[in-house]
Amino acid sequence: MAGWWGERMLSAAAMRLVQKSGVDTARLPASTPAADDAALVAAALRSEPRAEEQLYRRHAPAVLAIATRLLGRSAEADDVAQDTFVIAFERLSQLERPAQFRGWVVRIAVSQVHRRFRRRKLLRALGLDRGQDDASLAKLALPSLDAESRADLARIDAALQRLPAPERVAFVLRHVEGYEHAEAAALCDCSLATIKRRLQRAEAGVRALSAPRGHEPRDGSGPQAASQLNRARRRTGEGAP
């Protein structure tokens, strides 16, 4: 694995260009059916050459994209992507359904994202957090994004920064990555009821914190933040989740 793993940083830079183009890399393309993943997993377990490399090249773009949008920091996302595949290949024999490799590896990535948030919280408490928030939703948007939509995203970014990590992750998985509630719950390794509670709190928090000054909501009605995000996504050609 060492021979091709060293190309990861260049691949990460290329994948980030894909993100900025507005292309959604979070879903499995039709040209890469799950049956192929099952065959590659079986080959990797037999130690066949290049099987792990093919799994990495197929799924690393999605893992990096999700980690970047969850963390808002490209350097940390790169580390999460690398750690995710190291863990995945070490635990490959534990994968019960090889055809579901994509969901399994994203679940590992989300777990690593939570670890990063916990570490970030500790470093901030010690005054040692030197990370750069260089991958916010507004910064990842298309250069052609209009000013109103970019302002919407900037307000949502600022609100997400102030949410507890579990709620931030729930919001991004649902409203940015487009996962259904059950999918988000599985990725976060929690119950459906728990993910719904986290999402409800996140939506309320983002709604309150992202409203333009003088337009703060007087009650909890209306998914204002999600509407702002959907409007911005439509203007970038991504569509609603």
pLDDT for res 230:
58
pLDDT for res 224:
55
- Cα atoms in the 13 Å half-sphere on the side-chain side of 7: 10
Taking a C-beta distance cutoff of 8 angstroms, is the pair 70, 110 a contact? Answer: yes
pLDDT at 25 over 50: no
Torsional class of 214: left (φ above 0), alpha (ψ -120 to 50), beta (otherwise): left
pLDDT for res 23:
35
pLDDT for res 212:
60
Residue predicted with more confidence, 23 or 143: 143
Q: At what angle do helices 192-210 and 181-188 cross, to 10 degrees?
A: 100
pLDDT tens for 171-223 read 999 998 999 999 999 999 999 999 999 999 999 998 887 766 555 554 444 44
> Phi then psi for 232, rounded to 5 degrees?
-65, -40
Residue predicted with more confidence, 23 or 113: 113
- The mean pLDDT of 156-168, rounded to a whole number, is 92
pLDDT for res 165:
95
pLDDT band of residue 11 (cuts 50, 70, 90) is very low
Structure tokens at 208: 């309150």
Task: Delineate the domains of the chain, giving CATH numbers in brackets.
Answer: 2-125 (1.10.1740.10), 137-236 (1.10.10.10)
Q: How far apart are CA 189 and CA 183, in angstroms?
A: 10
Compute CA distances 51 → 1, 4, 213, whole Å.
Answer: 10, 12, 53
Q: How far apart are CA 107 and CA 186, in angstroms?
A: 7
pLDDT for res 174:
93
Q: Cα dihedral sign for 186, 90, 63, 60? A: negative
pLDDT band of residue 9 (cuts 50, 70, 90) is very low
pLDDT tens for 32-84 read 566 699 999 999 999 998 999 999 999 999 999 999 999 999 999 999 999 99
pLDDT for res 190:
96
Question: Could you give the dihedral angle defined by the CA atoms of residues 151, 156, 159 and 163, in that order, rounded to the nearest 10 degrees?
Answer: -160
pLDDT for res 145:
81
* Cα-Cα end-to-end distance for the chain: 36
pLDDT for res 130:
81
pLDDT for res 20:
41
pLDDT tens for 93-137 read 999 999 999 999 999 999 999 999 999 999 889 888 888 888 888
Neighbours of 211 (CB within 10 A): 16
Q: How far apart are CA 56 and CA 11, in angstroms?
A: 11
Q: What type of residue is 91?
A: R
